[in-house]
Amino acid sequence: MVLNDKKFWRDKRVFLTGHTGFKGSWLALWLERLGARVSGYARAPQSNPSLYAAAQVETSVSTSTEADIRDLETLAKAMEQASPDIVFHLAAQSLVREGYVDPCETFSSNLMGTVHVLEAARGLDSVKGIVIVTTDKCYENREWVHPYRETDPLGGSDPYSASKACAELATSAYRRSFFSASAGMARIATARAGNVVGGGDWAADRLIPDCIRAFEAGEPVVLRNPGAIRPWQHVLEPLAGYLRLAELLCGPDGSAYAETWNLGPDAGGEADVHTTAMGIAAAWQDEAKVDCGQTDATRAESNHLRLESTKARTILGWRSVWSFTETLDKTVAWYTQVRDGADARDVTLAQIEQFEADMATVEDGGGR
Instruction: Compute the Cα dihedral for 120, 125, 127, 129 and give only its sign.
Output: positive
Which residues of the chain, if any, have pLDDT below 70? Answer: 1-4, 181-183, 293-302, 363-368
Helix (H) or strand (E) holding 224: none
Query: Which runs of consecutive H residues, i.e. helices, occur in 134-187?
Result: 159-178
How far apart are the C-alpha atoms of 297 and 240, rounded to whole Å?
Answer: 36
The pLDDT value recorded for residue 320 is 93
Task: Give the tens place of pLDDT for each residue, 161-196.
Answer: 999 999 999 999 999 999 976 667 899 999 999 899
Per-residue pLDDT at 232: 94
What is the structure's pLDDT at 298? 55
Q: Which CATH superfamily is domain 6-196+232-266+303-321+343-363 in?
A: NAD(P)-binding Rossmann-like Domain (3.40.50.720)
Per-residue pLDDT reduced to its tens digit, 190-217: 999 989 999 999 998 899 999 999 999 9
| Three-state DSSP class for residue 198 | coil
Helices (H), 179-235: 207-216
What's the confidence (pLDDT) of residue 368?
45
Q: Supply the pLDDT for residue 183.
A: 66
Amino acid at 215: F
When the pLDDT of each residue in the chain is averaged and rounded to a whole number, the result is 92
DSSP SS3 for 322: coil
For residues 131 and 85, what is the distance between their CA atoms, to the nearest angstrom?
Answer: 12
> What is the Cα–Cα distance from 34 to 221, expressed in whole angstroms?
38
Beta strands in 98-250 (DSSP E): 129-133, 187-193, 195-197, 221-222, 229-234
Residue 294's pLDDT is 62
Q: What is the CA radius of gyration of the chain?
A: 19
Tell me what pLDDT residue 214 has: 95
Nearest Cα residue to 242 out of 302, 299, 191: 191
For the entire predicted model, the pTM comes to: 0.95
